Amino acid sequence: MNTSRRTFIASIALTPIACGTPLGYQRGTPITQPLPTPVIRAPKVGQEWTYIQRDLFNGKNLGLVTDRVASVGTTITIERANDNGERYSNEVQGPWGTVITDPHWSRTISYNPPIALWPQELSDRWAKQFITKYSIAGYPDNLYNWQEYMSVHGWEQITVPAGTFLTLRYQNLIHYESDDANKVNCIRKETIWFAPSIGRWVVREISGTYMISGQLGAANLEDSYQWQLTSFK
């Protein structure tokens, strides 16, 4: 990676995405690094997490989504469906905590090579940059650049509809190449509260911006969503 790209990733890690980007609703109570370090729950078939999805621009609830571990082997498959039983694309990990296929964006994407789904060390000082390529479901041969800076922002106690959890809050700042050649300077941001005790996040917020080639002025906003855990098993 050349110097300009390294500089870009460093700069977006230190600044907000853009003026006007919606703020998430979620806040937690900071706590010190727990000792001993919590252990991440291992995946087992039948584990479930149900989330309520909210539009962060207008606060509208968009319904429930249930993620369920369907298979555990060399890869872990997590099936997803809404409260009407409509099936969504699967999430695929392999190994646990490394994402191969991610259905949480507007289109399902797969990474090559896969990247970490949560911090590889449960430490409030951990940070790492990942450089990979991604493809969009249905077009596996078309690969695009993806640069992600994952950084931990501390341990927090947080309360959601499913209860109160000890979580590690971290942020992903992403600079990616769009499959639409007219879209440039594409940036995404995720803030995630990960609960080791359930092997999953209890809150996840995503937003993003992009520019149109030759466009002047403010960046365009992507849709912005939040998922809050309502139940698990």
Q: What is the mean pLDDT of each run of 10 residues along the chain (233 residues)?
A: 42 40 66 95 98 92 96 98 94 97 94 97 95 96 97 96 97 96 95 97 95 89 94 97
DSSP state of 19: T
CA–CA–CA angle 179, 181, 187 (5° rounding): 65
DSSP state of 226: E
Task: Name the burial class of residue 180, with classes exposed (0-12), middle (13-18) and buried (19+) by CB atoms within 10 angstroms of its CB.
Answer: exposed
Which 3 state secondary structure label does DSSP give 8?
A: helix
137, amino acid identity: A
Entry pTM: 0.89
Peptide bond connecting 140 to the previous residue in cis, omega within 30 degrees of 0: no
